[in-house]
Amino acid sequence: MKNYSALMIDLKNSRSYAIQERNDIQNSIIENIKILNKIFKNSIEKEVEFSAGDEIQGLFISPQSAYLYYRIFSMLIFPIEIHCGIGLGTWDIKIDNASSTVQDGTVYHNARKAIDEAKKSLEYSVLFYSKTKYDMIVNSLINSNNLLSGKQSKYQNNLMLLTEILYPISNGNIIVYKDLKELLKFLQFEKKLDFTSNINYTPTSTQLEKENFYITEGKKRGLSTQISKLLGVSRQSVEKAVKTGNIYELRNLTIAILKAMDSIEGEKL
């Protein structure tokens, strides 16, 4: 049977927020997932939406698409902390014209196990579960990525999101590139960005043809100069923020995660 990936997300310590703050966060998240559902429509089987309580859930065609969705979502809500579980498995009970929350199968059971383990863990806030030998590798890479991104400032996170809009990391047709411009409204810089009419999206391929025993595709030549012109700040200040924010390293780790997930293809689940 065909395998799918379920994504489950919930806010850490959501009950600790004041009622108004919690409502503001939920309204912001609803706006975020509405745009992300549009960007990822090529790779979503059941749209991401709120389920019981504060949990967010959706069904994807692949673990790569589920992870990339989570990745951009986490940038949009930064610095709010979340738990996340990504499961890979079969979609056994299909209910037409119904949301992800009423579907069932091993894909959902595996995602539930992943997020439940993440909630219990003191080290991992995001876990992937496919019942294959690659889970430990994928989860170690995801955790390393989260440890680095968690140390970023809001400005560095905005730079990483801007880099993702200019040079999105994706496999094939997972995302609709022309819709990435809608993410610009979430960027918070002193200078208001308005370059939707002339932006040229340059996807970052995860299929490396050169230097295939290590990853360098996450780094983009001329990025600091490009961003400095957009923001009206010095190239040196952008370079420093990119370096201290580990933006290139995080992008390389993301590519490594996607390639590790590629390795699961053909594994018996």
In terms of domains, do 97 and 167 share one?
no
Q: 100 and 196 share a domain?
A: no
265 domain-assigned: no
Q: For 182-192, how does the pLDDT look when each residue is reduced to its tens digit (9 = 90+)?
A: 999 898 886 66
Give the side-chain half-sphere CA count within 13 A for 246.
Answer: 15
Residue 56, beta-bridge partner list: 9, 50
**Which one has a higher pLDDT value, 262 or 72?**
72
* Amino acid letter, residue 79: P
CA–CA gap between residue 219 and residue 221 (Å, rounded):
7
Give Cβ neighbours of residue 97 (< 8 Å, ≥ 6 apart).
none
Residue 143 and residue 127 in contact, taking contact as beta carbons nearer than 8 Å = no
pLDDT at 65 over 50: yes
pLDDT digit string (tens) for 133-157? 999 999 999 999 999 999 999 999 9
The per-residue pLDDT for range 187-218, each reduced to its tens digit, is 888 666 655 545 666 777 665 455 578 898 89
264 phi and psi angles, rounded to 5 deg: -75, -20
Q: Mean pLDDT in the chain?
A: 89
The phi, psi pair for 193, rounded to 5°, reads -90, 135
Yes or no: say if 51 and 11 are a contact pair by the CB < 8 Å rule: no
Q: pLDDT at position 52, please?
A: 66
Give me the domain span that covers residue 17: 3-133
CB 63 within 8 A of CB 128: yes
What span, in angstroms and rounded, lies between the C-alpha atoms of 185 and 143? 28
Domain count for the chain: 2
The answer to whether residues 85 and 163 belong to one domain is: no
Question: Can you give the CATH number for the domain in which 28 is found?
Answer: 3.30.70.1230
109 vs 105: CA distance, rounded Å? 7
Pair (111, 174) in one structural domain:
no
**How far apart are the C-alpha atoms of 250 and 151, rounded to whole Å?**
12
